[in-house]
Amino acid sequence: MEWRVPLSDVDMDEEEIQAVTSVLKSKWLTMGEVTQRFEQAFAEYLGVRHAFAVSNATVALHLANAALGIGPGDEVIVPSLTFVATANAVRYTGAKAIFADITGDFDLDISPGAIVAAITPATKAITVMHYAGFTCDMPAISDIAYQHGLAVIEDAAHAPGTELDGKKAGTFGDVGCFSFFSNKNLVTGEGGMIVTDRDDLAEKIRLMRSHGMTTLTWDRHKGHAYSYDVVTLGYNYRIDEMRAALGRVQLSKLARNNTRRGKITARYWEAFAGTNLTLPFRNSRGRSAFHIFPIILPRGVNRLGFIDNLRAKGVQTSIHYPPVHQFSYYREQYPGIKLPITEDVAAREVTLPLYPTMSDEQVEIVIAAVLSALDEAS
């Protein structure tokens, strides 16, 4: 279908093409110098000691759990209103994902109170997800983690550039994980980054990212080593030079593009302020990366009918997210879980188009389509 306004789009131009072409001409395609430069630039941008580019954010989350020593018999508290990878990464280690409710329909992040209620003697870590690019209540969550001796993993897939109290998302906890998927704020197609200030975790991540090997192909190519040892069970979670090249260019555009996303979000908030829509995060803490724009429909409005109405007007929408605890696999693994706020909000959430290359005309098309659909639903 030809959308008048797609859900998302990619800001790429000749600069990215030249960056990738340069890599291809170099004939060094696997992880090497370009990746190292991308990692250094990303670490400097966040103000963090260590950054490791990986093949996607899911493996970043897996490495975060594994590096923290999480395994069978352990529990990790996670949100359910998130992409399934947040919970899957816990399961990969053999640990149990414990789902906690969100704060409310104006704050779709994990609730500090629900975290406290979920803590048991088996709890080893808390994973937060900064929904839509709006930070969780990290001061409260950090205090909870400190009081109970728990690690904190930040799923910052929505939040490159998000800030709270002068700190960027991904740097509050022990480990931060970022996504560079094609609909994200910083795009490499597939790809991700895992960051930490802890030297001990950085060494484990460095080894586990590439088969537990003490040296990499690039090290041997540069003459820094002749062979290698394997000192731990590792994985092939590396990124390649083409995607790292894209990442370097995209990082240079991130601040500008996040600003544009913020302006579109402000226009949406203004246009919908007088409706019966709930507008999450309108009075949010910190500075957002404005990854997506969620709205919560009034009770009684047929969501599929609303979505179809916008579709007929050429406006693409989505749902973020079907709750993880309601998927068949997790219902079978953990029967009987009830998260009333998550379930209520998730049943009424619709995500509107939001991307930095979106024109003012397209923004107004979306606004008009939403207002019309609301009128027809009332």
Which pairing describes strands 50-54 and 75-79: parallel, antiparallel, or unpaired?
Answer: unpaired
Residue that wins the pLDDT comparison between 313 and 214? 313
The pLDDT-based confidence of 1 (bands split at 50, 70, 90) is confident
Per-residue model confidence (pLDDT) at position 220: 60
Q: How many other CB atoms are found less than 10 A from the CB of residue 199? A: 10
Residue range 241-251: average pLDDT? Answer: 98
Per-residue model confidence (pLDDT) at position 219: 65
Q: What is the mean pLDDT of the chain?
A: 96
Q: How many CA atoms lie within 13 A of 157 on its CB side?
A: 24
Which of 197, 132, 146 is closest to 171 using CA atoms? 197
Asked whether the beta carbons of 223 and 197 are under 8 A apart, the reply is no
140 secondary structure, DSSP code:
H
Q: How far is CA 162 from the centre of its chain?
A: 11
Per-residue model confidence (pLDDT) at position 214: 86
Task: List, for residues 46-97, the tens digit of each pLDDT value.
Answer: 999 999 999 999 999 999 999 999 999 999 999 999 999 999 999 999 999 9
Tokens coding 143: 């205090």
pLDDT for residue 216 is more than 80: no
Q: Active-site positions?
A: 184
Asked whether the beta carbons of 229 and 214 are under 8 A apart, the reply is yes
Please, which residues bridge with residue 153 across strands?
127, 175
pLDDT for residue 377 is more than 90: no
Query: Can you tell me the distance from the alpha carbon of 255 to that of 248, in angstroms, rounded to the nearest whole number?
Result: 13
The pLDDT-based confidence of 225 (bands split at 50, 70, 90) is low
